[in-house]
């Protein structure tokens, strides 16, 4: 989803940076590009990607402060110092957020922003909450100093509705919807971060109208009655098609129920991304998803929100 949204921004003419956070690279396979590591690489026109790791972010941050690589190696590659840094709670998350913050604020020689959009593929709910609340935790327990200043700047960016928006991505099913509602509450009440929209992913396209769904139910009942009375039988292939059709219609109704619940309980623009019946994700699908998101978020679209102007 992050890749699709990033591609839609890039195709709109925005210079876009897509950030992965210390994960096995997926972006390169989706775009047929070179491996995405800790150095920024171009994966499509106007679209760049980087995979931020704690070690690389720490090195870059330390070099920004110490200026000389020899001093960095003497201090940060020391075995005792490395062991100490590994046990500081939240430090890895803070330096990765700091690296993302740097790119949001990055300017060129003319003083203009390097990136029109910076998109972070954030961790799943539990780790994501921990990740995003690290700056506020640090500012609440550390009263001053370099770490406090860095955390405060990041916290201000995360809470700035003019520059930042979270997109909540969910499946239209009971447990994911419950988790999404819980996440909204935490974001609103504790993190104080702006939310741009909610995206319902893997939504089944309706194949049957109400009359056709009713016909499938009647056909299934008739076939069952015939089998029970041994009065006849239904061709196995036809029977399988009828039940497959009923399953699809029931799945659509169930998903629509949870989408309606999200719309009722979240005062947010709702985007829908269809289910793609493919063995694996490919650039063609990402391209189609990007076009779908653009139709829903582009100028004049009913779901247009702050997400279209946000940096994260």
Q: pLDDT tens, 255-286?
A: 999 999 999 999 899 999 999 988 888 999 99
> How much of the chain, in percent, has pLDDT values that exceed 70?
82
For residue 47, tell me if it sits in a domain. Answer: yes
Q: What pairs with residue 42 in β-bridges?
A: 48
Is it the case that residue 83 has pLDDT exceeding 70? no
> How much of the chain, in percent, has pLDDT values that exceed 90?
56
Domain that holds residue 8: 1-158
Q: Please give the pLDDT value at position 55.
A: 82
**What are 77-86's contacts with CB under 8 Å, separation 24+?**
85/58
Contacts of 94 (CB under 8 A, 6+ apart): 134, 135, 138, 147, 150, 151, 154
Is it the case that residue 84 has pLDDT exceeding 60? no
For residue 24, tell me if it sits in a domain. Answer: yes
User: Between 167 and 242, whose confidence is greater?
Assistant: 167
What is d(CA 253, CA 151) in angstroms, rounded to the nearest whole number? 45
For residue 119, tell me if it sits in a domain. Answer: yes
Q: Please give the pLDDT value at position 169.
A: 95
Torsion, Cα of 85, 86, 88, 93 (10° steps)? 100
Q: Please give the pLDDT value at position 308.
A: 37
Range in 87-101, 106-120, 185-199, 226-240 with the lowest mean pLDDT: 226-240
For residue 114, tell me if it sits in a domain. Answer: yes
Q: Please give the pLDDT value at position 30.
A: 92
DSSP assignment of 178-190 equals HHHHHHHHHIIII
Q: Please give the pLDDT value at position 311.
A: 39
CB-side neighbour CA atoms (13 Å) of 13: 1
Q: Please give the pLDDT value at position 67.
A: 52
Q: Please give the pLDDT value at position 236.
A: 64
Average pLDDT along the chain: 85
Is it the case that residue 78 has pLDDT exceeding 60? no
Tell me the per-residue pLDDT of 151-196, one tens digit each, with 9 for 90 and over.
899 999 999 999 999 999 999 999 999 999 999 999 999 999 999 9
For residue 33, tell me if it sits in a domain. Answer: yes
pTM value is: 0.83
Q: Please give the pLDDT value at position 54.
A: 84
What is d(CA 103, CA 158) in angstroms, rounded to the nearest whole number? 14
Going by C-alpha positions, the residue among 103, 198, 87, 89 that lies closest to residue 154 is: 103
Q: How many CB atoms lie within 10 A of CB 112?
A: 7
Could you tell me if 150 and 142 are in contact, meaning their C-beta atoms sit under 8 angstroms apart? Answer: no
Angle between helices 236-265 and 174-186 in degrees, nearest 10: 20
State how many domains the chain has.
Answer: 1
User: How much is the average pLDDT of 66-90?
Assistant: 53
For residue 59, tell me if it sits in a domain. Answer: yes
Q: Please give the pLDDT value at position 224.
A: 78
Could you tell me if 8 and 294 are in contact, meaning their C-beta atoms sit under 8 angstroms apart? Answer: yes
CATH of the domain at 95: 3.40.50.300
For residue 228, tell me if it sits in a domain. Answer: no
For residue 52, tell me if it sits in a domain. Answer: yes
């Amino acid at each position: 989803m992050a890749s699709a949204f990033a591609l839609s921004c890039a195709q709109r003419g925005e210079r876009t940076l897509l950030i992965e956070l210390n994960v096995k690279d997926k972006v390169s396979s989706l775009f047929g590009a070179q491996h995405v590591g800790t150095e920024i690489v171009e994966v499509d026109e106007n679209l760049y990607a980087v995979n931020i790791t704690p070690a690389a972010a720490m090195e870059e941050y330390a070099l920004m402060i110490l200026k000389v690589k020899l001093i960095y190696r003497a201090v940060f590659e020391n075995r005792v110092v490395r062991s100490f840094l590994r046990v500081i709670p939240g430090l890895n998350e803070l330096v990765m957020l700091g690296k993302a913050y740097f790119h949001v604020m990055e300017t060129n020689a003319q003083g203009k922003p390097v990136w029109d959009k910076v998109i972070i593929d954030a961790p799943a709910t539990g780790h994501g909450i921990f990740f995003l609340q690290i700056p506020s935790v640090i500012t609440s327990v550390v009263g001053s100093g370099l770490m406090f200043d860095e955390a405060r700047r990041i916290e201000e960016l995360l809470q700035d509705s003019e520059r930042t928006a979270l997109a909540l991505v969910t499946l239209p099913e009971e447990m994911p919807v419950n988790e999404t509602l819980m996440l909204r509450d935490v974001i609103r009440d504790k993190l104080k971060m702006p939310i741009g929209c909610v995206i319902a992913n893997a939504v089944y396209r309706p194949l049957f109208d109400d009359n056709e769904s009713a016909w499938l139910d009647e056909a299934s009942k008739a076939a069952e009655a015939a089998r029970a009375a041994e009065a006849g039988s239904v061709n196995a292939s036809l029977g399988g098609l009828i039940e497959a059709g009923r399953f699809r219609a029931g799945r659509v109704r169930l998903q629509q129920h949870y989408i309606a619940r999200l719309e009722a309980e979240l005062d947010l623009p709702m985007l829908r991304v269809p289910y793609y019946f493919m063995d694996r994700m490919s650039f063609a699908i990402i391209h189609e998803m990007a076009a779908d998101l653009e139709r829903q978020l582009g100028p004049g679209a009913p779901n247009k929100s702050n997400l279209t102007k946000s940096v994260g």
